[in-house]
Amino acid sequence: MALVQLTISALPAHVRTARLMATAVARRAGIAESALDEIRLAVGEACSRAVEAHRVHCPSRPIQLDLIDSAGSRAPEGPPGRRPRPASQNGRNAQRFEVVVFDRAPAKEPAEAFDDQPGLGVDVEDDSPATEIAGLSPDVGLAVIVGLADEVSIEPHEDGTVVRMSWPLGKTDPETGSQLVG
């Protein structure tokens, strides 16, 4: 298992750096070229959401990204009190590319408030004026992430939110760059 950790300041310009880094690590890990745009967009959404939350609540605190090129028996260390889970499929470890975004801005609601979609923590029907940003709920970004990543886990905590996204690693044909099946 290879792990790349990236820490960025809560500045919108650093979202681009995170997207570029995630794409480079995903490409190196063997992700199919066709999935790179999805990874780039999902990482951009997760990081933009974290940057906005940090700018409001804790602008001086960094945002951490873990880029993991395959899940193994050893889970990487996250911020204190948060341990990422290894990705598994049907009870066995699967070869995956995983991106974990740790923000340290307090979640607006405790985890119990996200019971509408268990395991995701996404409530896209919350359209209260207090949660609107430029006319859209911040949860729209989370819904976009859910649509882009193969597996998603969103875990709000009092001391921040962990957004975990993953895609299957596939063998690619060296001549065509397309993903091989089987």
Tell me what pLDDT residue 175 has.
Answer: 56
* CA pair distance 123, 34, nearest whole angstrom: 29
Which runs of E-coded beta strand occur in the chain? 3-8, 63-68, 88-89, 92-93, 96-103, 151-157, 160-168
pLDDT winner (highest mean) among 67-71, 136-140, 176-180: 67-71
* Coil, helix or strand at residue 164: strand
CATH number of the domain within which 136 lies: 3.30.565.10
User: Could you please report the per-residue DSSP string of 89-110?
Assistant: ETTEE--EEEEEEEE-SPPSS-
- Region 2-16: mean pLDDT is 95
Mean of all residue pLDDT scores within the chain = 75
**Residue 150 maps to a domain:** yes
pTM for this predicted structure: 0.69
* CA pair distance 181, 31, nearest whole angstrom: 13
Question: What is the residue range of 145's domain?
Answer: 3-74+94-168
**Residue 101 maps to a domain:** yes
Percent of the chain with pLDDT over 90: 51
144 pLDDT higher than 80: yes
- Tally of domains within the chain: 1
Give the pLDDT confidence of 55-94 residue by residue, as tens digits: 999 999 999 999 998 744 344 455 545 544 544 444 344 6
**Residue 180 maps to a domain:** no
CA proximity to 61, closest of 165, 172, 159, 180: 159
